[in-house]
Amino acid sequence: MTMPTPLCPWRMQVHHITQETPDVWTLALLCHDQYRWRAGQYALVSINNSPDILRAYTISATPGISPFITLTVRRIDDGVGSGWLTQQVKRGDYLWLSDAQGDFTCDTEANDRFLLLAAGCGVTPIMSMRRWLAKHRPAADVAVIYNVRTPQDVIFADEWRDYPVTLMAEQQATLGFIEGRITPEILAAVPDIAARTVMVCGPAPYMDAVEQHVKALGVTRFHKEKFFTPVAAPVASGLKFTTLSPAREFYGPVGTTLLEALESNKVAVNAACRAGVCGSCKTRVLSGEYTTTSTMTLTEREVADGYVLACSCHPQSDLVLA
Ligand code: FES
């Protein structure tokens, strides 16, 4: 069988699928080759085995501990990737994955005190790292705060019984849950918070709030995952973007990335890693000024021809796109 894209060379077979919550499923995959990853990393998945549609999913399994490679996916309305993975893929089907990517991991941290924070499906790398720490740093002091919408939305509910965790539910909090969202007071109650390495994964506004609160509490070792970028509302002024095919004009605020400008204006663009690693958001700029923070997957020729990674392209003027 031919791989759909050189980016996703790992063929994996779905061994079984487990429903975690009303809208989250875990796909347990078997890989017949030796697939390596670090706790907290993600992989790109070729959706529908198509070379043109890649999505990034955290590997929720933990290397050396979990019997399968697992992807834990929330079904999103109109989500091309999540819809396929949670509704159409069946036991026995094959998926194609990229190498594991990302640096949201704890295995190089010398510190032995951690605060892991997750909201919703952001718990996937957090659980992967929690298992890793239990096995490889059994003496580590690890606090976890996990925020969900309602108690029935807790992912890995059975497994959390093995670890100390503070559970918070925005609504319908039952016994064992704190009601509401994360607050500075709840964070301040974590013992020795300033001495901890803080790792957070969840929607961008949640991560921003946590970052602000913990830094105000003296935390200096702070890491957040970058997947969860909300799509901003389109704007009517700012930098002007013109696409030639199809012919369109739209605007993005100064300081936006090209990817954010495209997405907020519903211009079709692939984006998997959002970190300048996977190459899926390659876009050609015909004119205008911009800076880039990554050209990792582009050839010199492509860069000279105006190709950019939209997630890593920072427009400095109006741009014309191919
Ligand atoms: S989304 Fe992966 S390089 Fe831009």
Instruction: Check pLDDT > 80 for residue 104.
Output: yes
The two tokens of residue 150 are 């309602």
Ligand 1 atom nearest the C-alpha of 297 is 3
In contact, 185 and 166? CB cutoff 8 Å: no
Instruction: Quote the distance between the C-alpha of residue 21 and its chain's center.
Output: 19
Query: Would the CA dihedral through 229, 233, 238, 242 be positive or negative?
Result: positive
- Probe residue for ligand 1, chosen from 5, 53, 269, 277 as the CB with the greatest number of ligand atoms within 8 Å: 277
Which of 124, 122, 125, 120 has its CA nearest to residue 149? Answer: 120
What pLDDT is attached to residue 292? 95
In contact, 319 and 282? CB cutoff 8 Å: no
Lowest mean pLDDT among 1-15, 21-35, 78-92, 296-310: 1-15
Q: Whose CA is closest to atom 3 on ligand 1?
A: 276
CA separation for the pair 322, 319 (Å, rounded): 10
* CATH code for the structural domain at 239-321: 3.10.20.30
Residues of the chain with CATH 3.10.20.30: 239-321
CA separation for the pair 89, 107 (Å, rounded): 32
> Which pLDDT band holds residue 97 (cuts at 50, 70, 90)?
very high
What pLDDT is attached to residue 228? 59
What's the fold here for domain 10-97?
Answer: Elongation Factor Tu (Ef-tu); domain 3 (2.40.30)
CA separation for the pair 300, 165 (Å, rounded): 48
CA separation for the pair 218, 227 (Å, rounded): 25
Residues of the chain with CATH 3.40.50.80: 113-224
Report how far ligand 1's centroid is from the alpha carbon of 206 (Å).
22
Report how far ligand 1's centroid is from the alpha carbon of 308 (Å).
10
What pLDDT is attached to residue 266? 82
Q: Phi first, then psi: what are they for 295, rounded to 5°? A: -130, 25
Which whole-number Å values give the CA distances from 157 to 105, 146, 160, 161, in the listed order? 22, 11, 5, 7
> Which pLDDT band holds residue 177 (cuts at 50, 70, 90)?
very high
The more confident residue out of 80 and 46 is: 46
What pLDDT is attached to residue 255? 87
Conformational region of residue 40, where left means phi above 0, alpha means psi within -120 to 50, and beta covers everything else? left
Peptide bond into 315 cis (omega under 30): no
Q: Residue 160 in 3-state DSSP?
A: helix
Ligand 1 in reach of 273 Cβ (< 6 A): yes
Which whole-number Å values give the CA distances from 22 to 7, 17, 18, 85, 234, in the listed order? 32, 14, 11, 15, 32
What pLDDT is attached to residue 206? 93
Residues of the chain with CATH 2.40.30.10: 10-97
Average pLDDT, the chain: 92
Instruction: Quote the distance between the C-alpha of residue 159 and its chain's center.
Output: 21
Reported CATH class of domain 113-224: alpha beta
Report how far ligand 1's centroid is from the alpha carbon of 297 (Å).
9
Report how far ligand 1's centroid is from the alpha carbon of 204 (Å).
17
